[in-house]
Structure 1
């Protein structure tokens, strides 16, 4: 009887230790993921969706320092930002088929180049290849009154479809997206 009790206690101990090790959840990401949708109204099917990481300023200067000027940026943090169009669109002056693309950008002081690239599910911009670009457009930089702590993306209705806004600190970028 004594032997069985020892084995029973040992089995319970191993079971508790194994169970406690089974749930190793990671902590909150320092640049949490977010999603921005564009719909014509709440009940309408989506026209576009952006999935991106939201880096934080944390008192640091952003563009020109944390995010260098004139270099390809993943347009967010962690995995490269992806945009899905549920309908064919016009991006810049290029007709783009419905589908999912990586959204890269090249920040500049006065203007940004915003890029759609067909390589998806990539981390950062380390493996960026210009040969995979589907469309590029150059847009001016503007300033907002609100100082955004976290990099943010949103959509608003635009002249011919939607305007995609990128913002961080006081920098604002508006990318028109035409609906076909």
Structure 2
């Protein structure tokens, strides 16, 4: 085997290794226990898209249990939930510029906070279990009132003409958008 053939074989092997490693690194997100989901719609001419991991109840107590009260939560599973709008909007009466944000929630028994954070792309929690949110990057915080709902086994977001709604277990939390 001459030098040219050897280089070709080495480059081919390296290309195969890199391709294999990148395939394994990405994995099949759809096969996760909390698969990715997307909710989208148009509100007042703005296209809203929410991308999140959708966990299931699986017999667990969600609110005040798996998801503690009064503590920032990634508003989904796996990576931090992403909220994207292509136009400036008003969320619960407050201005939110067009852009892409990580969406965090602070559930409470009687009131919730939703936090729009400019840092995106991070895993949703740190090793200790706290949310991976840097408060220095918070752009907007709004309050919302939870309501009882029928059972939703999987976490679900809906974008409606009035805003978005988080639904999971026996709660739904609407957030007004104009």
**Do both proteins adopt the same fold according to a TM-score greater than 0.5, normalized to the shorter chain?**
yes
Structure 2 residue runs without a partner (length 5+): 1-15, 126-130
**CA distances 1:101-158 after superposition (whole Å, capped 9, x unpaired):** 011000011110011011111111433122211111111110112x111111001112
Output the CA distance in 1 between the equivalents of 2:94 and 2:139: 8
Structure 1 consecutive aligned stretches of length 4 or more whose deviation exceeds 6 Å: none
Output the CA distance in 1 between the equivalents of 2:170 and 2:75: 16
By how many angstroms is 1:92 displaced?
Answer: 2.6
SS in 2 for 1:47: strand
Q: 1:150 aligns with which of 144, 149, 154?
A: 154
1:38 paired with 2:41, answer yes
SS in 1 for 2:65: coil
Output the CA distance in 2 between the equivalents of 1:97 and 1:138: 18
Q: Pairwise mapping of residues 43-54 of structure 1 onto structure 2 (< 5 A)?
A: 47-54=47-54
By how many angstroms is 1:65 displaced?
Answer: 0.4
SS in 1 for 2:146: strand
Larger Rg: 1
Structure 1 residue runs without a partner (length 5+): 1-17
Q: Pairwise mapping of residues 12-23 of structure 1 onto structure 2 (< 5 A)?
A: 22=20
By how many angstroms is 1:93 displaced?
Answer: 3.2
Output the CA distance in 2 between the equivalents of 1:108 and 1:37: 26
TM-score, normalisation: structure 1:
0.77
Q: 2:135 aligns with which of 114, 127, 130?
A: 130
TM-score, normalisation: structure 2:
0.78
Q: What's the Cα RMSD here? A: 2.2
SS in 1 for 2:136: helix
SS in 2 for 1:173: strand
Output the CA distance in 2 between the equivalents of 1:95 and 1:131: 18
Output the CA distance in 2 between the equivalents of 1:95 and 1:151: 27
By how many angstroms is 1:61 displaced?
Answer: 0.8
